[in-house]
Chain A
Amino acid sequence: MNVFQYFSANSQQILFLTQAHFLYVLICVGIGSAISIVLGLIVSTGEPNPNRFSFDWWATGVREGSLLITAAVLTVPSLALFVLFLPITGLGVTTAIIVLTVYSLYTVLRNTVAGLRSVDRAVLESARGLGYGRIRRLLTIQLPLAWPVILNGIRVTTLISISIAVVGSIVQGPGLGQLLLTGITRIGAANAFPQVLIGTFMCLVVAAVFEIFFAIVQRLTIPRGIRV
C-alpha cells in the first residue's frame, strides 16, 4: 500500500485529525498569547522613570521572574511536562491543552515585553508631553508599535506548537500524533509507514494554513505607517 492509496482510503480520518490538530494548536496558542500579552502589558506599565519607585520594583520583578520561569518551562522536554500533569489532570484533552498552552507562553511574553520596550523614547516622551496618561500611552502608542514584534512571536510559537502537539497524543491528546502512535505500534504492517509519513507531513500542511492566516492578520492589523 503506497502513500496515495493510504491517503485516499483514509482521507476522512486524516482530514479530521488535521482539523483537530489545527484547532488544538489554535486554542492553546490563542489562550497562551492572550495570557502573555496581558501579562506583558501589566508588567510594562512600570516605566523607566527615575522619579518613581512606587510601582516599578514589583513590575520588574514579575517581568523578569515570569520570563525566567516560562523560559525554564520551554527547556523541559514536552513528554516530561505532559507526564507531570497526568497525576493532576489525567489522560486526555485537558492535560494536552494545559501543557501546550504553558509551552506557548514564553515566546509571546518575551516579544511583548521586548516590543513594548523597544518603542522610541522620543515618541513616548512627546506623548507624555501632550498629556497622554500611562494607560493611554501603553494602549494607543506602545501596543500598536510593538504589535509586529508580538505578532511574530505568536507566529513562531504557533509553528513550534504544531510540532509539540504531536507528542500530546502520548497522553491521548487530539490531533495528528495519533497517526504516528498507531503507526509505530503496527510496524511491519503494510500501511504503517504511509500512516506515520502522512501524520508527519500533514503537520506542515497545518503550518502552511497558519502561515497564510498570519500573513492576512499581519496585513490587516499592522498600522500602515509602520509597515515595511
Chain B
Amino acid sequence: MTAVDLQPGVPTPSEERKESGGGFLGVIRANYDLLVAPAIVVVGLIVMVAYVGSQTLDTIEERALEPANVFGQLGQHLLLTAYSTVLVLIIAVPLGIVLSRPGARRIQGGVLALGGFAQALPPFGVLLLLGFWEFGVRSAVIGLTLAALLPVLRNTVVGLQQVDQSLIEAARGMGMSARQTLFSVEIPLAVPVIVAGLRVALVLNVGTATLATYIGAGGLGELVQQALRLNRINLLFVSGAIIAAVALLVDWLAGVAERAIVARSG
C-alpha cells in the first residue's frame, strides 16, 4: 500500500515542464519522466529472469510460479483494483463537488483536515476489520474503496477551490446559473487536480490489494504469503518483483492517461 500526497501549490517535477516545445521530440522532452517507470520495470524484470534462471527451483516454487497461477492472481488483483477505483470515482468526486458548494463551506475545512490526518489510518487494518464481517472479495473491495476515498475527495474539493474566483464571477455575470457555472467552468478547470487524485487512488488500490489475500480475496499478495509461509527466498523475490512491476506499469498507464486528459481539457 502506498500513499502519495498531493499538495496544491507545490509543483511536482512533471508540472513544470509543460511548455517545452512541440513535435515528437517536444512530446518526449515534456514527458521524459514517463520513461522512468518502464525503464525500471524492464531492467527489474531482466534481473529477475536472470536470477530465477540461475537458480534451481524446487517443485513448490515451480508450481507457484506457473503462468496460469500467476496470471490468475494478477487477474484477481487488477479486478480488485478496478472495482474499488471505479467505486471511489463514483462516490468521492460527487461528494467532493457537494462539499465545495458554498452551503457546505463550514464542514469543508473539517473534512480536509480529517483527510490529512486519516492518512495515518492503515488500510491494512481497515481491510482486516472488514474481514471480521466477511471474508472475500466483497469486503476487500469495500476496504480498498474506503482507504482510497479521502485523497480523491480532498483533491476534488481543492481542485474546485483553486478555480480563479474572477472566472466564476465572470460566468455568473454573463448570466450563467450556479449549475451552469459548475459544469462549464468550475469542473472543467478542476479536472487536472481531480484526475491527479484519481491516479493516487489507483496506485493506493494496487498497493492495498496486495494485502487482500489476508482476508481471502486473492490477488498477487497470495504469492508473497505463500512464499513467507513456505520460507522460499526465491519465490519471495520473484513475487515482490512482479508486484512492483505491476504497480509501476499501472501507475505509468494512469500517468499517460492523465497527460492525455489534462492536455485535452486545456
Residues on A lying within 8 angstroms of B by beta carbon are: 64, 67-69, 71-72, 74-84, 86-87, 103, 107, 110-111, 114-115, 149, 152, 156, 159-160, 162-164, 166-167, 170, 177, 180, 183-184, 187, 192-193, 196-197, 199-200, 203-204, 206-207, 210-211
Contacts and interface: CB of A to CB of B under 8 A. Distances in A.
B21 interface: no
B51 to A, nearest CB: 9
B5 interface: yes
Interface stretch (B61-69, B166-174, B176-184, B232-240): B232-240
B120 A159 contact: yes
Q: Which of A79, A107, A156, A196 has the largest number of chain B CB atoms within 10 A?
A: A79
B211 A83 contact: no
Given A72-B40, A87-B237, A79 B210 contact: yes
B163 interface: no
Given A76-B244, A79-B243, A183-B128, A203 B237 contact: no
A203 B122 contact: yes
A159 to B, nearest CB: 4
A75 B37 contact: yes
B218 to A, nearest CB: 14
Interface stretch (B9-17, B102-110, B190-198): B9-17
A56 B126 CA distance: 46
- 5 tightest A-B contacts by CB? A200-B125, A207-B120, A77-B207, A83-B240, A80-B243
A207 to B, nearest CB: 3
A199 B121 CA distance: 10
Contacts of B96: none
A163 B119 contact: yes
B33 interface: yes
Contacts of B159: none
A159 B116 contact: yes
A65 to B, nearest CB: 9
Identify whether the interface residues of A are mostly helix, strand, loop, or mixed: helix
Contacts of B3: 74, 160, 163-164
Determine which residue in A160, A177, A211 has the highest number of CB atoms from chain B within 10 A of its CB, and name it.
A160
B194 to A, nearest CB: 20
Nearest to B228: A170
Contacts of B187: none
B119 A166 contact: no
B10 A75 contact: no
Contacts of B221: 79
Which of B5, B40, B224 has the most chain A CB atoms inside 10 A of its CB?
A: B5
B125 A199 contact: yes
B37 A79 contact: no
B10 A163 contact: no
Nearest to A65: B36
A191 B233 CA distance: 33
A160 B119 contact: yes
B124 A80 contact: no
Interface in B214-266: 214-215, 221, 224, 227-228, 233, 236-237, 239-241, 243-244, 247-248, 251
Contacts of B210: 77, 79-80
B129 interface: yes
Contacts of A210: 120
A114 B10 CA distance: 6
Contacts of A107: 5
Contacts of B24: none
Contacts of B112: none
A86 B13 contact: no
30 contacts: A64-B13, A71-B4, A75-B37, A77-B247, A79-B207, A80-B240, A80-B243, A80-B247, A82-B240, A84-B241, A86-B237, A86-B240, A87-B233, A110-B13, A111-B10, A114-B10, A156-B5, A159-B117, A159-B119, A163-B120, A164-B2, A164-B122, A184-B128, A187-B131, A187-B132, A192-B132, A196-B125, A196-B128, A196-B132, A207-B120
